[in-house]
Amino acid sequence: MDNNNKAFMVGQWKVEPGLNKISCPDNQVMLVPKVMAILLALVKGKGEPLNLETLMASVWQQQVVSDSSVYQAIAQLRKALGDTAAEPTYIQRVSGKGYRLIAQVKALPTLTNQTKTATDTQTMAARVVSQLSPSKFEKNWLANWRFWLVAIFVTVVISMLSFYKPWQAPELQTSPLSIAQINSISFQRLATENIGQSTKLDGLNDVLLTQLMQIKQMRVVSLSQKSSSPNTQAVIKGRIHKQDNNIRVFLQLVQVDSQEVIWARVFNGEINDLFALQDTIVETLLALFKRQQTLPAFKSALIDNRNFDQYLLARHLWQQRNAPALYRAKSIYEKMQQQQALFPLAAVGLCDTYHYLHIYADWSFEQALNKCRPLLQQALAQQPNLGQAIAAQAMLLNNQGKKVQAEKLFEKAIKLTPNYPFAYMWYAEMIRGMGKYKQGLSMIKTAYALAPMSPMINRSLAYAYLNAGDRAQARFYYRRALDLQRDYTNRAIEELDFLPLTIERARAFLLWAKKYPSIMRKQRSYQLTQAQIELALGKFDEVVATLANLKGQQVNPSFKLFIQTSLAAAQGRYHDVIAFIEQRIAIHQDSARYAGSYLSVLYQMGDDEKAYKAFLRLRPELARNILNPEPQGEQTVTANNRYKLIYFVQLQARRGKMKLVSDLAQQLDNSFAKRATSKNIYYARWLLFRKQKEKAKTMMLSMMNDGWLPDYSAEFSPEAIMKQLFIDVGLGDKTYQALLKRNRAQVLAGFN
């Protein structure tokens, strides 16, 4: 085993160091060189534990690496061998001493020994044959069946020994991912160690990500340190370490599928020259991938070290997404501006800060717009093709109502910087604002693929699903956004768009509105949300006043029509409801989206024949499956179609056609029995319809005791439906009014 390239056995595995390959009868694995070197070092240790320093010196020699490099190599070797740390059969960790090989190591038979074995076998065969009598054989060869049996047997044995080598594995060709094959990478935010007050080092993450986004023909995804498995071929990960004035950046390129380290490097720099450090890292990565940037994100001629350090600190503060940190970032950027040191990306950073002050603090959009416009003009004068600046300019134009110009700039920004997620997000929000919900959803999904850990993009994706009518997905991504940013300022108001309205949530909104009156004034859409709360509290006059105040103002027309629709439904003006729904259909050119509301108002009006014809027209596929089922088939009941089927069954019953849907009604009963269902007025109405009066009554009282309020964003005409249910189960209108009044009073307690 002195020859490092000589093959040998470790346990059941044949090891071929020269090929970086290990194999067994049913598998073959290619190892990266460092992992093979770890295995050879353990073999040379002959069962004795080797500490981390010994393994580093043996494998990495003069390179400076961290302990994690050894741990990762050991983990990869264990995975290749099918070994585990909990129950090791190959590699054992000895506490305080290191790692040792516990599997048996054996040399393979040499070619000389193999030849000798075959020769001896042939000699033996000849001897056996010679023992047979030639004279007898010649006289009666048919009778010498034993001769033929032995001869055939010997021939087979010789053939097997000559051609079959049990230690060789099947020729399976698997190999690690080649760097040349990589066209998608994730950048996982680098951990920071021992940085103390040097928070600008955390901003180095944003700089490296910005640089990577510029790489041509490479999809680059941004991840946090705690991200799950990336959806790219490889991931760049590592950490930033500070010691005195020295900075060390450890980077690894890891294949996602196999978790093998494809490439690793340590970069050394100084705290006073971080620009040179990031420049070296980027140049190395470009050479590694053999790619170029669409354009350099930072022009060295425009930046000195001090200004770059200030930019890093401001980016770190901007990432905090809270008013105090944003005002500090604003102060740093504006000081750079006064010193005429605001290079293009810093100008974009200051504009981003103004935009965040509009979202997370009390700035109006007009205030942010007036500040941003000259900044972006300055940035584009110095770097005309800076995608980030072009995208920000497009976003501002959209908010000014200049959508045609904005669309052209968004397309240009995406072409120049295809990995910039906010270009897609802002573009998606513009498209959604135009009522193009499907296109908007597709666009924001692209932004999410590039930055899945961004709370802002998760919230935007949640609203895109809400606009598209998929409330379940909308709630999922909104909750995900809250998990990513638990201290989100506007949580109390935006939750109302996704989660059921309760006393607790209504009170939280009123407290929030009292705390942030300036945000309420500047965000007109929030005033419409306030109108939803006023509807739930029965304050119809205040809803009318809110709608009047917004007349002529730039506000989402579909959202405003929704509030008008809800108010008309609450007041029983069902013909006005139909008119408002038809206006929303005209805006979005999507009658299917508003089918539920339209059918509900017809049902509430008691126009059963018109409702039946409308169902056939608006839900043709579902109607066809119900009325013309496949032979021996049943209508599949799902979470998405359950309440649509309930509507049709109850409508048919009112039309005197219950016999036609009796089987479907039974399937719905079975569906409710199998799946847990949240309490709601439509389920209560179904229970009453199916003669389960006591169960319906219990559910309704439970909903009231849990703080039920009429939620017009989730249900059509909830007050009228709940009132009728109380009457039908025998509780009466007075009980309903008393319980609703109690819940509304709990919301308002302490506010009057």
What pLDDT was estimated at residue 64?
Answer: 62
The confidence band for 301, taking pLDDT boundaries of 50, 70 and 90, is low
Tokens in use for 751?
A: 């506010």
The confidence band for 631, taking pLDDT boundaries of 50, 70 and 90, is low
d(CA 248, CA 195): 11
The pLDDT tens digits for 316-375 are: 888 888 889 999 999 999 999 999 989 999 999 999 999 889 888 878 888 888 999 999
3-state DSSP of 268-287: EEECCCHHHHHHHHHHHHHH
Is the model's pLDDT at 447 over the cut of 60?
yes
Q: Distances in Å between the alpha carbon of 59 and those of 46, 253, 265, 487, 542?
A: 17, 18, 14, 46, 75
For residues 376-388, average pLDDT: 92
Tokens in use for 99?
A: 């790692």
What pLDDT was estimated at residue 162?
Answer: 43
The confidence band for 228, taking pLDDT boundaries of 50, 70 and 90, is low
Is the model's pLDDT at 259 over the cut of 90?
no
Tokens in use for 412?
A: 């240009």
- Burial level of 698, CB count in 10 A (0-12/13-18/19+)? middle
Q: How many CB atoms lie within 10 A of CB 659?
A: 9
The pLDDT tens digits for 83-133 are: 877 778 889 888 778 899 998 888 876 544 444 444 444 444 344 334 434
What pLDDT was estimated at residue 122?
Answer: 47
The confidence band for 137, taking pLDDT boundaries of 50, 70 and 90, is very low
Is the model's pLDDT at 11 over the cut of 90?
no
Is the model's pLDDT at 141 over the cut of 70?
no
Tokens in use for 364?
A: 């109006």
Of the candidates 248, 244, 234, 348, the one whose C-alpha atom is nearest the C-alpha of residue 298 is 348
Q: Which residue type is seen at 165?
A: K
What pLDDT was estimated at residue 93?
Answer: 85
Which phi and psi angles does 246 have, rounded to 5°?
A: -95, 140
What value does the mean pLDDT of the chain take?
A: 84
Q: Are the beta carbons of 99 and 55 closer than 8 angstroms?
A: yes
Q: Are the beta carbons of 626 and 645 closer than 8 angstroms?
A: yes
- Burial level of 464, CB count in 10 A (0-12/13-18/19+)? buried
What pLDDT was estimated at residue 197?
Answer: 55
| DSSP assignments along 447-464, one per residue | HHHH-TT-HHHHHHHHHH
Q: Helix or strand or coil: residue 85?
A: coil
What pLDDT was estimated at residue 140?
Answer: 47
d(CA 465, CA 607): 32
Q: Are the beta carbons of 448 and 415 closer than 8 angstroms?
A: no
Compute the CA torsion angle 687, 688, 693, 695 (nearest 10 deg). 20
What pLDDT was estimated at residue 98?
Answer: 86
- Which DSSP letter does residue 293 get? B
- Please state the length of the chain: 752
For residues 233-242, average pLDDT: 90
The pLDDT tens digits for 565-594 are: 999 999 999 999 999 998 988 887 777 778
Element (H, E) at 190: none
d(CA 604, CA 570): 12
Q: Are the beta carbons of 268 and 281 closer than 8 angstroms?
A: no
Is the model's pLDDT at 413 over the cut of 90?
yes
Q: Are the beta carbons of 223 and 452 closer than 8 angstroms?
A: yes
What crossing angle do the helices spanning 595-605 and 574-588 adopt, rounded to 10°? 170
**Which of 15-24, 141-150, 549-558 has the lowest average pLDDT?**
141-150
Is the model's pLDDT at 270 over the cut of 60?
yes
What pLDDT was estimated at residue 470?
Answer: 85
What pLDDT was estimated at residue 507?
Answer: 93
User: What is the Cα gyration radius of the chain?
Assistant: 36
Q: Are the beta carbons of 361 and 394 closer than 8 angstroms?
A: no
**Residue 186 forms beta bridges with which residues?**
221, 235
What pLDDT was estimated at residue 29?
Answer: 85
Q: Are the beta carbons of 513 and 530 closer than 8 angstroms?
A: yes
What crossing angle do the helices spanning 344-360 and 305-318 adopt, rounded to 10°? 20
Q: Distances in Å between the alpha carbon of 427 and those of 134, 350, 448, 675, 717?
A: 96, 21, 13, 39, 34
Q: How many CB atoms lie within 10 A of CB 564?
A: 20
Q: Helix or strand or coil: residue 243?
A: strand
More confident residue, 588 or 309: 309
Compute the CA torsion angle 475, 481, 485, 486 (nearest 10 deg). 10
Beta pairing class for 261-270 and 246-255? antiparallel
Q: How many CB atoms lie within 10 A of CB 675?
A: 11
What pLDDT was estimated at residue 226?
Answer: 67
Q: Are the beta carbons of 379 and 386 closer than 8 angstroms?
A: yes
What pLDDT was estimated at residue 229?
Answer: 65
Q: Which residue type is seen at 317?
A: L
Is the model's pLDDT at 158 over the cut of 50?
no
Q: Which residue type is seen at 615?
A: F
For residues 254-263, average pLDDT: 85
pLDDT above 90 covers a percentage of the chain that reads 39
- Burial level of 599, CB count in 10 A (0-12/13-18/19+)? buried
More confident residue, 233 or 145: 233
Is the model's pLDDT at 537 over the cut of 50?
yes
Q: Are the beta carbons of 326 and 317 closer than 8 angstroms?
A: yes
Is the model's pLDDT at 399 over the cut of 50?
yes
Q: Helix or strand or coil: residue 256?
A: coil
Of the candidates 353, 322, 318, the one whose C-alpha atom is nearest the C-alpha of residue 491 is 322
What pLDDT was estimated at residue 712?
Answer: 87
What pLDDT was estimated at residue 172?
Answer: 33
Is the model's pLDDT at 421 over the cut of 90?
yes
The pLDDT tens digits for 171-192 are: 333 345 688 889 999 999 898 8
What pLDDT was estimated at residue 110?
Answer: 52
